[in-house]
Structure 1
Amino acid sequence: MRDAKLAVETGVDGLDVVIGTSSFLREHSHGKDMAYIEKTAIEVIEYIKSKGLEVRFSSEDSFRSDLVDLLSLYRAVDKVGVNRVGIADTVGCASPRQVYDLVRTLRGVVSCDIETHFHNDTGCSIANAYCALEAGATHIDTSVLGIGERNGITPLGGLLARMVVTSPEYVKSKYKLHMLKEIEDMVAEAVEVNTPFNNPITGFCAFTHKAGIHAKAILNNPSTYEILNPADFGLTRYVHFASRLTGWNAVKTRVGQLGLTMTDDQVKEVTAKIKALADVRPIAIDDADSIIRSFHLTLHEQPGKAAPVEVQNGEQVEVANGQ
Structure 2
Amino acid sequence: MGNGASSSNGGCCGGGAVSSGHGDPQGHLVESSLTNSTPDLHTSTNHGKLPDIAELTRPDASAAMDFCSSPRSSVSSGARGDTDDSDNYTLASAATTMSSSINLDKFSIIDSTLREGEQFATAYFDTAQKLEIARALDEFGVDYIELTSPAASPQSRADCEAICKMGLKAKILCHIRCNMDDARIAVQTGVDGVNVCIGTSSKLMEHSHGKDMAFIKAKAQEVIEYVKSKDIEIRFSGEDSFRSEFSDILQLYSLVDRLGVDRVGIADTVGGATPLEVFDKVEALRKVVSCDIETHFHNDTGCANANAFVALEAGATHIDTTVLGIGERNGITSLGGLMACLMSTDRRFILNKYNLEKLGCLEQLVAKIVSVEIPFNNFVLQKLD
Please classify the TM superposition score into its range, dividing by the shorter chain length: 0.5 to 0.7
1:217-240 deviation per Cα after TM superposition (whole angstroms, max 9, x unaligned): xxxxxxxxxxx53x239xxxxxxx
1:302 corresponding residue in structure 2: none
CA separation in 1, counterparts of 2:357 and 2:184?
Answer: 41
TM-fit CA distance, 1:60: 0.7
Amino acid at match of 1:90: T
- Equivalent runs, 1:13-162 vs 2, <5 Å: 13-162=192-341
1:232 paired with 2:384, answer yes
TM-fit CA distance, 1:35: 0.6
- Equivalent runs, 1:184-263 vs 2, <5 Å: 184-201=363-380, 229=382, 231-232=383-384
Equivalences, count: 206
The secondary structure found in structure 1 opposite 2:218 is helix
1:64-119 deviation per Cα after TM superposition (whole angstroms, max 9, x unaligned): 00011100000000001011110100000100001111111111111111000000
CA separation in 2, counterparts of 1:55 and 1:69?
Answer: 20
Amino acid at match of 1:118: F
1:243-263 deviation per Cα after TM superposition (whole angstroms, max 9, x unaligned): xxxxxxxxxxxxxxxxxxxxx
TM-fit CA distance, 1:174: 1.0
2:33 corresponding residue in structure 1: none
TM-fit CA distance, 1:176: 1.2
CA separation in 2, counterparts of 1:6 and 1:189?
Answer: 32
TM-fit CA distance, 1:175: 1.2
Structure 1's consecutive aligned runs of 4 or more residues displaced over 2 angstroms after TM superposition are: 9-13
Amino acid at match of 1:58: S
- Provide the TM-score with structure 2 as the length reference: 0.52
TM-fit CA distance, 1:6: 2.3
CA separation in 2, counterparts of 1:72 and 1:114?
Answer: 15
TM-fit CA distance, 1:121: 0.3
CA separation in 2, counterparts of 1:117 and 1:157?
Answer: 16
TM-fit CA distance, 1:183: 0.8
2:183 corresponding residue in structure 1: 4
CA separation in 2, counterparts of 1:179 and 1:14?
Answer: 26
The secondary structure found in structure 2 opposite 1:232 is coil
CA separation in 1, counterparts of 2:239 and 2:310?
Answer: 19
Structure number with the bigger relative contact order (C-alpha 8 A, sep ≥ 6) is: 2
CA separation in 2, counterparts of 1:108 and 1:82?
Answer: 16
Identical residues among aligned pairs (%): 64
CA separation in 1, counterparts of 2:339 and 2:186?
Answer: 33
What is the CA RMSD across the aligned residues, in angstroms?
1.2
CA separation in 2, counterparts of 1:153 and 1:29?
Answer: 22
TM-fit CA distance, 1:12: 2.3
The secondary structure found in structure 2 opposite 1:103 is helix
- Equivalent runs, 1:287-302 vs 2, <5 Å: none
Amino acid at match of 2:184: K
1:258-296 deviation per Cα after TM superposition (whole angstroms, max 9, x unaligned): xxxxxxxxxxxxxxxxxxxxxxxxxxxxxxxxxxxxxxx
TM-fit CA distance, 1:44: 0.8
TM-fit CA distance, 1:58: 0.7
1:171 paired with 2:350, answer yes
1:150-192 deviation per Cα after TM superposition (whole angstroms, max 9, x unaligned): 0100000011111101211111111111111111111111111
2:124 corresponding residue in structure 1: none
The secondary structure found in structure 2 opposite 1:141 is strand
Unaligned residue ranges in structure 2 (runs of 5+): 1-179
CA separation in 2, counterparts of 1:158 and 1:12?
Answer: 28
- Provide the TM-score with structure 1 as the length reference: 0.62
Unaligned residue ranges in structure 1 (runs of 5+): 202-227, 234-323
